[in-house]
Chains A and B, each alone.
Chain A
Amino acid sequence: MRNAMLPESDIDLFSDDNLRHPWDHYRALRDQGPAVMLTRQNAVVLPRYHELRAALLDDKLFSSASGVALNDAANQQMRGTVIASDGADHARLRGVLRESLSPRALVQLGDEVQRRADEIVASLPAGQPIEAVEAISRRLPLTIVLDLIGVDDFGRQHTLEWADNSFNLFGPITSPRTVKALESMQEVFVYAFEVTAQAGRLRPGSMGAAIVEAVRDGKIGPQEAPGLLVAYLTGGLDTTIASISHMLHLFAQHPDQWTMLRAKPDLIPAAYQEVLRLRSPAHWFTRFTTQDVDVGGTVLPAGTRTVMLFASANRDERKWDHPDEFDILRDAADQLAFGYGRHACAGQGLARLEVISLMNALTRRFARIEAGGSALAVNNLIHGYARLEVVLA
């Protein structure tokens, strides 16, 4: 699949260091061209904004049906799930998620999420160091998302571990994280199979129970239910948790913008778009080309595994002025952190609701966020924090 026109890079995007600090490498890829061959992965990366957005919109040319990971084993495992299907199959599966996650479904949830965010923020000590990943970032998604899915205590205890593995799973087979994830994903699928197959295991009225009802009503097949539950269990936690930590870290670095936000809380939804642009939690997924496709003058042959590098596109100098700068007054409404097109994150409404509710509560109580020591987490796909010390005052 080598192409004479295609620039090549031998960068290892999956080393510990590069996963923590990928930004200079992403810029180098963008400068090489709209499509660059990653020789270590035998895959082509799309690092620029406009080409990536167009490719994400064209789900016929850039297909998800053969998986969206970088290794064959994971792609085999996920085949036929909502993230790894196209056309009518995808529409059917997505319809189940859409019913539970659309803003219309979330309307009645809004007050409850804000109430829990207020509770969490009210419980935080002022003026003394706290570890924010544990004390803030994890708390709201864990309480909200696990209640919504309706899982039991076993599911609750294991979900964070499953989520971490489930994103490592997408990496190249040469990464030890990928190998470990492939081994451990068995457990989550067994759990998901059991609780969707046995009546009453998922709380009645929950999103999990809605999957079981969709099987009963013939909307989806019984073999499709575990995959949807796994999508809920893994998709809605680490992503949002990482995003909350990034939000705290960015406003700790930009106290003037926190002050502005406190004065004009109407800016919060747009400010969160800017957080997502600059610090995209999920950095990429892959697609597979179904035909030869010309991307900005470079031809990708049919059958090319393509890395859709959202996090790089969100800092593309060709699209954004001063892309590395945090500016909550910027119009970042068309950032690509949730992907774009038919496979755009189905849970983004809930994610926005959670983070914006926390931002509401935090701006009302605290005038300043100060950051102490921090450590970035290492995951093949999610960019977040392992530790983030803050003082809220």
Chain B
Amino acid sequence: MTLHMSPQQETIPTLQIYPGTLARGRKTVPIVWDKTRCDGFGLCQQAAPEIYRLDDKGELHVHEPRAGDMAAQERARVGARACPSGAITIGPAKTTT
């Protein structure tokens, strides 16, 4: 077993896929939120409020960056890195068909 390690993108074994990420034909970078890990500290929102919003019920709402928008993707990564529980993963840009 190899410890998967990548400073940019961390792998999470079991995923709860954010509903938006399964839409067909989309060209955004999926942001995957593992609710079972989320403690609701809201540090993602503090780091990148334009991408992440944690509502008062503890649900996370995300603005997924467009595939070509590198600046927004970097902001999404900044927010994901700030999560103390490792509950947010940024996927590679892809088109689901």
A103: contacting residue among B5, B6, B42, CB under 8 A: B42
Docked-complex contact A102 and B5, CB < 8 angstroms: no
Binds A, one of B17-25, B60-68, B82-90: B82-90
Report how far A146 CA is from B55 CA in the complex, Å. 29
Docked-complex contact B42 and A51, CB < 8 angstroms: no
With A50-B5, A54-B4 given, is the CB distance from A342 to B41 under 8 Å? no
B9: min CB distance to chain A, Å: 11
Docked-complex contact A342 and B37, CB < 8 angstroms: yes
Docked-complex contact B86 and A57, CB < 8 angstroms: yes
By size class, the interface of chain A is 35 or more
Asked if A373 lies at the interface with its beta carbon under 8 angstroms from chain B, I say no
Docked-complex contact B12 and A103, CB < 8 angstroms: no
Asked if A104 lies at the interface with its beta carbon under 8 angstroms from chain B, I say yes
Report how far A295 CA is from B2 CA in the complex, Å. 7
Report how far A61 CA is from B5 CA in the complex, Å. 13
Name the residue of chain A whose CB is nearest to the CB of B54. Answer: A103
A349: contacting residue among B7, B10, B37, B41, CB under 8 A: B41
B2: contacting residue among A293, A345, A349, CB under 8 A: A293
A333: contacting residue among B4, B13, B56, B78, CB under 8 A: B78
Chain B interface (Cβ < 8 Å from any Cβ of A): 1-7, 10, 12-13, 36-37, 39-43, 46-47, 56, 58, 78, 81-82, 84-86
Docked-complex contact B85 and A342, CB < 8 angstroms: yes
Name the residue of chain B whose CB is nearest to the CB of A302. Answer: B1
Docked-complex contact A104 and B56, CB < 8 angstroms: yes
A-B pairs with the 4 shortest C-beta distances? A54-B5, A333-B82, A294-B2, A334-B81
Q: Tell me the chain A residues, 41-89 only, with Cβ under 8 Å from chain B.
A: 50-51, 53-58, 60-61
With A57-B86, A341-B85, A344-B84 given, is the CB distance from A103 to B4 under 8 Å? no
Docked-complex contact B13 and A54, CB < 8 angstroms: no
15 A-B pairs with C-beta separation under 8 A: A50-B5, A54-B3, A54-B6, A58-B3, A61-B1, A103-B41, A294-B2, A333-B81, A334-B82, A339-B84, A341-B37, A342-B85, A345-B84, A348-B84, A349-B41
Report how far A293 CA is from B85 CA in the complex, Å. 22
Give the residues in chain B near A102, CB-CB below 8 Å.
39-41, 58
Give the residues in chain B near A349, CB-CB below 8 Å.
39, 41
Report how far A206 CA is from B63 CA in the complex, Å. 37
B42: min CB distance to chain A, Å: 5
Asked if A98 lies at the interface with its beta carbon under 8 angstroms from chain B, I say yes
Report how far A131 CA is from B47 CA in the complex, Å. 35
Docked-complex contact B3 and A61, CB < 8 angstroms: yes
Docked-complex contact A57 and B84, CB < 8 angstroms: no
Of B3, B56, B85, most buried by chain A (CB within 10 Å of CB) is: B3
Asked if A291 lies at the interface with its beta carbon under 8 angstroms from chain B, I say yes
Name the residue of chain A whose CB is nearest to the CB of B48. Answer: A333
Report how far A109 CA is from B59 CA in the complex, Å. 21
A36: min CB distance to chain B, Å: 15
Report how far A259 CA is from B21 CA in the complex, Å. 45
